[in-house]
Chain A
Amino acid sequence: MTIERAPEGFAGWPPPILDPAGPFAGPVNILSWILFAMSAVVLVVVLAALAVALFGPKRWRVRLGGERLVWIGGLAFPVVVLSALLIYGLGLTSHLTDDPRPGEVRIRVTGEMWWWRVAYLDGGGREVLQDANEIHIPAGQPVVFELESADVIHSFWVPRLGGKKDMIPGRRNILRLQADAPGVFGGQCAEYCGGPHALMGLVVVAHPPAEFEAWKRRRLAPSLAAGLPSRGTEVFDASGCGACHTVRGTAANGLAGPDLSHVGDRRTLGGGILPTNQGTLAGWISDSQAIKPGNRMPAYPVLSGEDLRAVAAYLESLK
Chain B
Amino acid sequence: MIAALSLVGACADKTNTPRLIAGGDPSRGLAVIEEVGCGACHDIPGVGWPRGTVGGPLKGFAVRPLIAGRFANQPDTLVTWLKDAPSLSPASGMPTMPIAEDQARDVAAYLYTLDDH
Contacts and interface: CB of A to CB of B under 8 A. Distances in A.
B54 A5 contact: no
Interface string A44-78: 00000000000000000000000000000000000
A188 to B, nearest CB: 15
B80 to A, nearest CB: 16
Contacts of A3: 30-31, 34, 46-48
Contacts of B38: 279
B58 interface: no
B46 A2 contact: yes
Interface stretch (B16-24, B70-78, B90-98): B90-98
A308 B55 CA distance: 12
A277 interface: yes
Given A275-B35, A309-B86, A280 B40 contact: yes
B54 A282 contact: yes
A2 B41 contact: no
A66 B35 CA distance: 62
A304 interface: yes
A39 to B, nearest CB: 32
A278 interface: yes
B67 interface: no
Contacts of B59: none
Contacts of A274: 37, 40, 50
Nearest to B38: A279
B40 A291 contact: yes
Contacts of B46: 1-3
User: Interface size for chain A: under 10, 10 to 19, 20 to 34, or 35 or more residues?
Assistant: 20 to 34
B63 to A, nearest CB: 19
Interface residues of B, number: 31
Contact of B52 (A291, A304, A306, A313): A291
Interface of A is mostly: helix
Contacts of A286: 41, 54, 93
A282 B93 contact: yes
Interface string B4-29: 00000000000000000000000100
B36 A304 contact: no
Contacts of B49: 4-5
Nearest to A293: B50
Contacts of A284: 40
A304 B91 CA distance: 8
A280 B34 CA distance: 11
Nearest to A289: B53
A1 B30 contact: yes
Contacts of A2: 46-48
B64 interface: no
Contacts of A305: 91-94
Given A3-B31, A275-B35, A308-B54, 17 more contacts: A2-B46, A4-B49, A5-B37, A5-B49, A5-B50, A274-B50, A279-B97, A282-B40, A283-B40, A283-B55, A286-B41, A287-B52, A287-B53, A290-B52, A290-B54, A305-B91, A306-B93
27 contacts: A1-B27, A4-B49, A5-B37, A274-B37, A274-B40, A277-B36, A277-B37, A277-B97, A277-B98, A278-B96, A278-B97, A278-B98, A279-B36, A279-B38, A280-B36, A282-B41, A282-B95, A283-B54, A286-B41, A286-B93, A290-B54, A291-B39, A306-B90, A306-B91, A308-B93, A309-B93, A309-B94
Interface of B: 27, 30-31, 34-41, 46-55, 86, 90-98
In the complex, the 5 A-B pairs of residues with the closest C-beta atoms, listed nearest first: A283-B40, A305-B93, A278-B95, A283-B41, A280-B40
